[in-house]
């Protein structure tokens, strides 16, 4: 019985992690169609903001929840202004540019801060489920994933800014004709996506190895999740995270971690073969 509860908790925690690391990319790639290969480095910058500010005496919650989105959001704004803005609609060029950006971020952080910085221990301790110990921080991550999804949904669906952003992504010229400045909308949306990625980096910092190269371990999964999700970026990302996270965790439990990784990839490939436009290309098409 307690084992079943623990397995369920681990599945939820796997799903929550996927949601957290994918949301920023869902905005930048799912919504804006910018292939941001520096997404993993945005996570890393968020993680570094967290561990460095904590190392310099900042409050833990401030360090993982508040500073990372602000810092990475600002970096995102600069990146958009200098680089991404010139490349909208040019997918291949964007890939090359953001790949270069990711290398520059890795190199820059290594140069400035070195490659071994002490991280943040997970707060909140642990609790017991029968004979098992589970990290309370896992529960916090699940709540954070729910809260983040709710905020993204609310902003896009309920606020005028969200409406303008969605309209601009759908038809920039029409939005411009109605008096919206698409440039500004793009810039703000991109830095919002970057801020989400930064927050994700801050959130996972206490349970990840925060190193300059940590982005590479997350970016593939984030892309797989968003692409599998399909056109409706929020619903798609949530559904894809739920499916892929469950498959990978169950396989890890039943067989081994190697199979867990393999199962995630195989499942995504099969899914994309059957639903080339992603899950929401077929189901839940009218959702957000």
Partner 1 sequence: MTFSRRDALKTALFAAGSTLAAPAIMRHAALGADPIKVVGIHDASGGLDIYGKPMIATLDFAVDELNAAGGLLGRQIELINYDPQSNIQLYTQFATQAATKDKAAVVHGGITSASREAIRPVLDRFKTLYFYNTQYEGGVCDRNTFCTGSTPAQNVQKLIPYVQKNWGKKVYVLAADYNYGQITSKWITKYVREGGGEVLAVDFFPLDVTNFGPTISKIQAAKPDAVISALVGGAHISFYRQWAAAGMKKQIPMGSTTLGVGNEHIVLSKEEGDGIVCAYSYFQEVDNPLNKAFLEKFHAKVGANAPYLSELPMRTYIGVQLWADAVRKAKTVERVAVTKALESGISLDTPAGKTTLDPKTNHVTLDVYLAQVENQGFKVLDTFPDQPPLDTASVCDLVKFPNTDKQFVVDVKI
267 interacts with partner 1 by CB under 8 A: no
Residue with smaller CB distance to partner 1, 25 or 211: 211
Which of these ranges, 87-95, 112-120, 182-190, 280-288, lies near partner 1 under the rule CB under 8 A?
Answer: 112-120
Min separation Cβ 198 and partner 1, Å:
18
Which of these ranges, 64-72, 83-91, 114-122, 226-234, lies near partner 1 under the rule CB under 8 A?
Answer: 114-122
Question: 209 φ, ψ to 5°?
Answer: -85, 105
Secondary structure of the chain as H, E, C letters: CHHHHHHHHHHHHHHHHHHHHHHHHHHHHHHCCCCCCCHHHHHHHHHHHHHHHHHCCCCHHHHHHHHHHHHHHHHHHHHHHHCHHHHCCCHHHHHHHHHHHHHHHHHHHHHHHCCCCCCCCCCCCEEEECCEEEEHHHHHHHHHHHHHHHHHHHHHHHCHHHHHHHHHHHCHHHHHHCCCCHHHHHHHHHHHHHHHHHHHHHHHHHHCCCCCCCHHHHHHHHHHHHHHHCCCHHHHHHHHHHHHHHHHHHHHHHCCHHHHHHHHHHHHHHHHHHCCCCHHHCCCCCCC
Among 159, 170, 171, 256, binds partner 1 (CB under 8 A): 256
216 interacts with partner 1 by CB under 8 A: yes
41 interacts with partner 1 by CB under 8 A: no
- The Cα–Cα gap between 205 and 78 comes to 24
Which of these ranges, 106-114, 166-174, 229-237, 272-280, lies near partner 1 under the rule CB under 8 A?
Answer: 106-114
118 interacts with partner 1 by CB under 8 A: yes
211 interacts with partner 1 by CB under 8 A: yes
Among 220, 266, 269, 270, binds partner 1 (CB under 8 A): 220
Which of these ranges, 81-89, 165-173, 200-208, 232-240, lies near partner 1 under the rule CB under 8 A?
Answer: 200-208
Number of residues that bind partner 1 (CB under 8 A): 48
Among 119, 193, 201, 278, binds partner 1 (CB under 8 A): 119
- Sign of the torsion formed by the C-alpha atoms of 164, 169, 180 and 151: positive
Among 99, 113, 132, 153, binds partner 1 (CB under 8 A): 132
Min separation Cβ 45 and partner 1, Å:
15
Task: Summarize as ranges the residues that interact with partner 1 (CB under 8 A).
Answer: 3, 6-7, 10, 13-14, 17, 107, 110, 114-122, 125-126, 131-135, 137-138, 206-211, 213-214, 216-218, 220, 248-249, 252-253, 256-258, 260-261
């Amino acid at each position: 019985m307690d084992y079943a509860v623990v397995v369920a908790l681990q599945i939820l925690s796997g799903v929550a992690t996927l949601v957290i690391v994918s949301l920023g990319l869902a905005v930048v790639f799912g919504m804006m169609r910018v292939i941001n290969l520096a997404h993993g480095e945005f996570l890393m910058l968020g993680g570094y903001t967290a561990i460095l500010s904590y190392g310099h005496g900042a409050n833990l919650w401030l360090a993982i929840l508040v500073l990372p989105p602000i810092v990475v959001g600002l970096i995102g704004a600069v990146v958009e202004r200098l680089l991404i803005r010139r490349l909208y609609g040019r997918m291949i060029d964007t890939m090359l540019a953001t790949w270069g950006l990711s290398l520059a971020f890795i190199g820059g952080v290594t140069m400035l801060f070195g490659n071994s910085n002490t991280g943040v221990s997970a707060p909140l301790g642990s609790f017991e489920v029968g004979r098992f110990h589970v990290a309370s921080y896992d529960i916090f991550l699940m709540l954070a994933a729910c809260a983040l999804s709710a905020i993204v949904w609310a902003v896009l669906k309920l606020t005028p800014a969200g409406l303008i952003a969605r309209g601009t992504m759908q038809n920039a010229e029409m939005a411009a004709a109605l008096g919206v400045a698409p440039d500004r909308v793009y810039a703000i949306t991109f830095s919002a996506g970057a801020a989400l990625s930064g927050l994700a980096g801050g959130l996972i910092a206490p349970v990840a190895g925060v190193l300059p190269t940590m982005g590479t371990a997350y970016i593939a999964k984030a892309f797989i999740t968003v692409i599998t999700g399909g056109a409706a970026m929020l619903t798609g990302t949530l559904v894809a995270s739920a499916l892929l996270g469950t498959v990978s965790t169950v396989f890890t439990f039943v067989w081994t971690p190697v199979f867990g990784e393999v199962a995630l990839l195989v499942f995504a490939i099969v899914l994309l073969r059957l639903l080339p436009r992603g899950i929401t290309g077929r189901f839940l098409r009218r959702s957000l």
